């Protein structure tokens, strides 16, 4: 049975054949019930069902983009209903390293010890953090061979991996131009601090804002184009707009060899930030293949006052075209930038929730088709969690049909389901309890991992409810 949300999400699917369209809906619906399991376990372990799923992933007539396309279309519809949308993008590694034979087509991730592929999606969020879905995504593999780091400055951006930042930034500009009633804000981490990306904003539509975390201490020029110091010293010399107390979480670096200040270990603590902001013009760097123009930007620097001895201070330096004339406008920039971290939650849900890296395929093209399905599944879980927090009092039937929430209510509470559907927040917490969440007062809201584990149990419970529940059709009736 195909879930209603799958039918809605795949409304514009076109894989070139009606049977392929139907098969994708069936596979997506089946894998939604057991996203972390192997494909045979997810689709029912029957020979016919398993064969049909693998035929879909092995079909050379369709590709990653074809499967993801209807989800992107559905995301555009959700995006058009919003007054403000945050478009965040980032890169993640998909580690497909196997003990013996590697996946055909996979490339090196770090030298030659790990093999896989890289994914760079552009994801849409509301200002409160509800994920609307993926609007663009790029996949690529690296080639074997020595690094050409010494020649990087001579290589045009079109021949570098960093082109992905420019392409997604332009895609965000295009989305803004196609949705003039929506304020689009493109947000990126320090890897996007590339002058070509910053400069391309000069011709942006009026409803397009951008925020990039600074990585380099760039040179500054005055209104006449003369050298005028550098970015850090200009901000340090600007006045403090206000101070702000925040609570930061503990952090441990993923890689012991990562020496960047922002990735050093730190303890959870209360800290106070000084917030400075100013407008300045970045000097255009030299490029052998093109001429770049000096570019005016607004810069915000939030820096920790008196950090603990031996600990790395909290420091955000953001470049943007958003207004910064007062505290409220500066706070808006900072709040929009914070949405960027939610794409990391999506990556974690994709990897730990759907266990996409553990799926076994001989060829990279088969993996990519399954990846597109898994990205839709990861979004769906992430969406259910966030919408339950942002719209806690709406009916649970905004997300779950009766055959899904009723058996969950019965199992968790031990009571018959009420005639009036519970709120979305109540049902999401009940589903999370099926996944191991401890529901108690003043406890943190459930995360995507526990909700996804609960969704797997929901699939089995819902199937039994349809077959044996109070509304099931009895044989002979």
The two structure tokens encoding residue 383:
């969406």
- In the chain, CATH 1.10.246.40 covers 4-58
Per-residue pLDDT of the chain (477 residues; tens, 9 = 90+): 788 899 999 999 999 999 999 999 999 988 888 888 888 887 775 677 788 888 999 999 999 999 999 999 999 999 999 999 999 999 999 999 988 788 999 999 876 688 999 999 999 999 999 999 999 999 999 887 655 555 666 788 888 888 999 999 999 999 999 999 999 999 999 999 999 999 988 778 999 999 999 999 999 998 888 888 899 999 999 999 999 888 876 665 555 545 555 555 667 778 889 999 999 999 998 888 888 899 999 999 999 888 888 778 888 999 999 999 999 999 999 999 999 999 999 999 999 889 999 988 999 999 999 999 999 999 998 998 888 888 888 898 888 888 889 999 999 999 999 999 999 889 999 998 998 888 777 667 888 888 888 888 887 888 788 888 787 655 444
Rounded Cα distance between 175 and 378, Å, is 23
Rounded Cα distance between 360 and 352, Å, is 15
Work out whether strand 183-188 and strand 84-89 pair parallel, antiparallel, or are unpaired. Answer: parallel
Residue of 345, 375, 377 whose CA lies nearest to 136: 375
Rounded Cα distance between 158 and 171, Å, is 16
- Element (H or E) spanning 142, and its range? none
In the CATH hierarchy, which fold is given to the domain comprising 391-468? Transferase Inhibitor Protein From Tn5; Chain A, domain2 (1.10.740)
Cα–Cα separations (whole angstroms), residue 290 to 148, 155, 162, 287, 362: 21, 11, 17, 6, 42
| One-character DSSP codes across 222-250 | -TTS-EEEEHHHHHHHSPEEEEEEEEE--
Rounded Cα distance between 433 and 444, Å, is 13
- In the chain, CATH 3.90.350.10 covers 64-226+306-374
User: Is 148 in contact with 155 (CB distance < 8 Å)?
Assistant: yes
| Cβ-proximal residues to 266 (8 Å cutoff; 6+ apart), any chain | 248, 250, 251, 311, 312
User: Is 454 in contact with 431 (CB distance < 8 Å)?
Assistant: yes
Q: Backbone phi, then psi, for 252, in 5-degree steps?
A: -125, 130
pTM of the model: 0.88
CATH number of 64-226+306-374: 3.90.350.10
CA atoms within 13 A on the CB side of 187: 26
CATH 3.30.1360.70 correct for 4-58: no
Which stretches of 162-294 are assigned E, i.e. beta strand?
183-188, 208-213, 219-221, 227-230, 240-248, 269-282
Work out whether strand 84-89 and strand 92-95 pair parallel, antiparallel, or are unpaired. Answer: unpaired
- In the chain, CATH 1.10.740.10 covers 391-468
């Amino acid at each position: 049975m195909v879930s209603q949300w799958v039918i809605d999400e795949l409304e514009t699917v076109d894989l070139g054949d009606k049977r392929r369209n139907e098969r994708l809906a069936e596979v997506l619906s089946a894998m939604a019930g057991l996203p972390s399991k192997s494909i045979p376990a997810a689709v029912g372990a029957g020979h016919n069902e398993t064969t049909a799923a693998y035929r879909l992933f092995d079909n050379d007539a369709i590709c990653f983009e074809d499967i993801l396309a209807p989800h992107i279309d559905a995301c555009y519809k959700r995006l058009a209903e919003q007054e403000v949308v945050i478009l965040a993008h980032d890169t993640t590694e998909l580690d497909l390293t196997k003990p013996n034979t590697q996946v055909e087509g996979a490339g090196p991730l770090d030298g030659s010890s790990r093999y896989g592929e890289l994914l760079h999606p552009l994801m849409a969020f509301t200002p409160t953090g509800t994920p609307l879905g993926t609007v663009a995504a790029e996949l690529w593999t690296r080639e074997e061979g020595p690094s050409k780091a010494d020649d990087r400055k001579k290589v045009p951006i079109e021949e570098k991996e960093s082109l992905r930042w420019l392409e997604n930034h332009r895609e965000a500009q295009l989305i803004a131009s196609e949705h003039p009633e929506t304020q689009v804000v493109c947000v990126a981490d320090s890897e996007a601090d590339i002058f070509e990306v910053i400069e391309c904003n000069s011709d942006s539509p009026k409803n397009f804002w951008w925020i990039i975390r600074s990585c380099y201490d760039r040179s500054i020029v005055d209104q006449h184009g003369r050298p005028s110091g550098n970015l850090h010293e200009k901000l340090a010399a600007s006045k403090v707009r206000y101070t702000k107390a925040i609570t930061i979480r503990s952090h441990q670096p993923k890689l012991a060899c990562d020496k960047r200040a922002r990735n050093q270990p730190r303890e959870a603590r209360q800290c106070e930030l000084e917030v400075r902001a100013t407008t300045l013009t970045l000097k255009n760097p030299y490029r052998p293949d093109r001429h770049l123009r000096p570019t005016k930007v607004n810069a915000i620097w939030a820096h920790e006052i008196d950090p603990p001895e031996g600990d790395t201070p909290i420091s955000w330096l953001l470049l943007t075209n958003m207004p910064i004339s007062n505290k409220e406008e500066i706070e808006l920039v900072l709040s929009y930038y914070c949405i960027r971290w939610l794409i990391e939650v999506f990556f974690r849900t994709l990897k730990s929730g759907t266990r996409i890296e553990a799926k076994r395929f001989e060829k990279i093209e088969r993996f990519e088709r399954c990846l597109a399905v898994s990205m839709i599944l990861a979004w769906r879980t992430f969406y259910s969690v966030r919408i339950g927090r942002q719209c806690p009092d709406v009916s649970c039937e905004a997300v779950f049909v009766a055959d899904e929430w009723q058996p969950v209510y019965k199992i968790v509470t031990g009571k018959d389901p009420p005639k009036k559907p519970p709120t979305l927040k109540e049902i999401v917490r009940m589903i999370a309890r099926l996944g191991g969440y401890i529901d108690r007062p003043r406890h943190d809201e459930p995360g995507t991992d526990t909700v996804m584990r609960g969704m797997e149990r929901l699939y089995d419970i819902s199937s039994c409810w349809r077959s044996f529940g109070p509304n099931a059709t009895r044989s002979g009736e």
